[in-house]
């Protein structure tokens, strides 16, 4: 069936910042055929195409003079299950958190730490989504994408995705591949990852010394609900800046002035600084200018109190970046994709 195009569609309901810009054209293809058809039609008209999933990692700063293709494909399939290891495939348009809950309901372990992340399955590999010590690369079994340059299907294994910290080949080549479906290597046996942040403590408070994957997911959901704003109530795109990875010397220089600096050693004597800590130290926590602000509980999250434009959110982000560079000599990189 031919996919309908609409004209001059407000993207406000399609981005979690709640920014009100218009798409020149908008369509919601439900399967590979409709996706191909929309891309071909746009190509024939010389129209650029922008792909959108849940809009939870986007900052829209202007009307989008393109076809905005909202991936709406659905479906989850068990590819193999030998009683220990399970491969599950989900279509790109599947909402992420309900998919995670579905896997847990089936008794499949592996995605529990990635609970309550907004967005879609298809966008998850873009920035190798991660939380509480697990990244999608840790449970990745492969994906199928459409090469938008050649129109051919391509299979990506783990190596081909070159996943990094909030990074992948897809993020580094925006617009090249449209991810159609993703496969996950899950297990009937839980390998718990509890050493990150307050996860173990929350489970201990609940008297849960040997938690199930569902109990870990529930604990993480409760921690996240306490700390992070719900986009349905307060517009945001999660962490607005990546945690900067810097040299050990850089951290020592900062520590000399700020003994409480929050830093986590990585391989190759690199160190990950908590960007939220830097922003909080600089006094931005809870800052508000018009409807653009910094969340009162988590400084890494910029929020839209209602009517902020994307340009206002971006201007606030740039002010913060300049201040952190000046105070600490550290460059903060934006995490959301800027349109
Ligand atoms: P979108 O915002 O729609 O798109 C993001 C990018 O991916 C765009 O460039 C888009 O063009 C591209 N894209 C979308 N779908 C496809 C596709 N099928 N094929 C090719 N390209 C595509 N992120 C984390 O990593 N960890 C977290 O814990 C986390 N927590 C969050 C909490 C909150 C409250 C919010 C608002 C965001 C959070 N995020 C987190 C960020 C975000 O949810 C994730 O990055 C998520 O994977 C984005 O999915 P999406 O479908 O909303 O992508
Ligand atoms: P948090 O627990 O307050 O921790 C602050 C920062 O310290 C996090 O950014 C995290 O880095 C890092 N950290 C904490 N414990 C660590 C450890 N044991 N080893 C290495 N690094 C550690 O963070 P939060 O804001 O409440 O978020 C909790 C988790 O959800 C984090 O993993 C975070 O990345 C994820 N999250 C991501 C987004 C997003 O939009 N990207 C939004 C909300 C939450 P990392 O960020 O590298 O994990």
**Do 89 and 155 form a contact (C-beta atoms < 8 A)?**
no
Tell me the CA–centroid distance for residue 240 and ligand 1, in Å. Answer: 12
Tell me if 197 CB under 6 Å of ligand 2: yes
Active-site residue identified among 89, 112, 135, 335: 335
Per-residue HEC secondary structure of 254-293 comes to HHHHCCCCCEEECCCCEEEECHHHHHHHCCCCCCEECCEE
Among the bound ligands, name the one nearest to the CA of residue 235: 1
Containing 314, the helix (H) or strand (E) segment is helix 310-328
Place 267 in a pLDDT band, splitting at 50, 70 and 90.
confident
Q: Residue 302 forms beta bridges with which residues?
A: 294
Evaluate if residue 269 carries a pLDDT over 90: no
**What average pLDDT does range 293-316 have in this prediction?**
97
Among 98, 95, 77, smallest CA distance to 86 is for: 77
Catalytic-labelled residue, pool 115, 239, 299, 309 = 239
pLDDT in tens, 142-178: 999 999 999 999 999 999 999 999 999 999 999 999 9
Question: What pLDDT is attached to residue 2?
Answer: 86
* Catalytic residue status for 335: yes
- Going from the Cα of 248 to the center of ligand 1, the distance in angstroms, rounded, reads 31
State yes or no: is 36 an active-site residue: no
pLDDT for 36-53, tens place per residue?
999 999 999 999 999 999
Q: Do domains 76-227 and 235-338 have the same CATH topology?
A: no
pLDDT band at residue 336, thresholds of 50, 70 and 90? very high
pLDDT at residue 268, as a whole number: 82
Task: Specify whether 225 is catalytic.
Answer: no
- Decide if pLDDT at 18 tops 80: yes
Report the SS3 class of residue 190. coil
φ/ψ of 317, rounded to 5, equals -60, -40
Ligand 1 touching residue 302 (CB < 6 A) = no
Q: Are 157 and 139 in contact (CB under 8 A)?
A: no
Identify the active-site residue in 56, 94, 135, 166.
166
The predicted pLDDT at position 321 comes to 98
Residue 1 has pLDDT above 80, yes or no: no
- pLDDT of residue 324 exceeding 90: yes
Q: 126, 154, 313: which to mutate for ligand 1, most atoms within 8 A of CB?
A: 126
Q: What is the CATH number of domain 235-338?
A: 3.90.78.10
Question: Among residues of the chain, what percentage have pLDDT more than 90?
Answer: 95
Domain limits, the chain:
5-70, 76-227, 235-338
Q: Report how far apart, in Å, the C-alpha atoms of 331 and of each of 81, 130, 284 are.
A: 46, 21, 16
Ligand 2 centroid from CA 274, angstroms: 8
pLDDT at 76 over 90: yes
pLDDT tens profile 202-212: 999 988 889 99
| DSSP one-letter string for 69-122 | EE-----EEEEEE-SSEEEEEEETTSBHHHHHHHHHHTT-BS-GGGTT--SBTT
Buried b (16+ CB within 10 A) or exposed e, 301-338: bbbbeeebbbebbbebbeebbebbeeebebebebbbbe
Architecture in CATH of 5-70: 2-Layer Sandwich (3.30)
pLDDT digits (tens, 9 = 90+) for 81-94: 999 999 999 999 99
Q: Is 92 in the pocket of ligand 1 (CB under 6 A)?
A: yes
The highest-level CATH class for domain 76-227 is alpha beta
Pairing of strands 263-265, 22-27: unpaired
Residue 209 has a pLDDT of 83
How much distance in Å is there from the Cα of 135 to the middle of ligand 2?
A: 11
Q: Which pTM value belongs to this model? A: 0.96
Does residue 231 line the site of ligand 2, with CB under 6 A? no
| pLDDT for residue 245 | 95
């Amino acid at each position: 069936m031919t996919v309908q195009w609409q004209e001059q569609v407000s993207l406000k309901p399609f981005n979690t910042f709640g920014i009100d810009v218009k798409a020149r054209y908008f369509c919601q293809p439900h399967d590979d055929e409709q996706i191909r058809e929309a891309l071909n039609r746009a190509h024939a008209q010389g129209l650029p195409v922008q792909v959108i999933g849940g809009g939870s990692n986007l900052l829209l700063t202007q009307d989008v003079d393109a076809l905005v293709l909202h991936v709406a494909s659905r479906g989850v399939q068990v590819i193999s299950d030998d009683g220990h290891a399970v491969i599950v495939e989900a279509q790109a348009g599947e909402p992420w958190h309900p998919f995670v809950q579905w896997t847990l309901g089936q008794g499949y372990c592996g995605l529990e730490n990635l609970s309550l992340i907004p967005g879609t399955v298809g966008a998850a590999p873009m920035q190798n989504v991660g939380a509480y010590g697990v990244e999608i690369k840790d449970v990745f079994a492969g994906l199928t994408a459409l090469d938008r340059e050649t129109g051919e299907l391509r299979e990506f294994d783990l190596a081909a995705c070159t996943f990094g910290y909030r990074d992948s080949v897809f993020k580094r080549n925006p617009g090249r591949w449209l991810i159609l479906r993703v496969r996950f290597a899950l297990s009937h046996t839980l390998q718990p990852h509890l050493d990150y942040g307050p996860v173990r403590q929350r489970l201990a408070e609940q008297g849960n010394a040997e938690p199930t994957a569902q109990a870990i997911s529930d604990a993480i959901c409760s921690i996240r609900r306490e700390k992070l704003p719900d986009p349905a109530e307060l517009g945001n795109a999660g962490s607005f800046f990546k945690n900067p990875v810097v040299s050990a010397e850089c951290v020592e220089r900062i520590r000399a002035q700020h003994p409480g600096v929050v830093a986590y050693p990585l391989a190759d004597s690199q160190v990950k600084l908590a960007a939220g800590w830097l922003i909080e130290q600089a006094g931005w926590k809870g800052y508000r200018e018009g409807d653009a602000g910094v969340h009162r509980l988590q400084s890494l999250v910029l929020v839209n109190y209602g009517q902020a434009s994307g340009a206002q959110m971006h201007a606030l982000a740039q002010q913060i970046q300049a201040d952190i560079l000046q105070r600490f000599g550290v460059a903060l990189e934006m995490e959301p994709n800027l349109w």
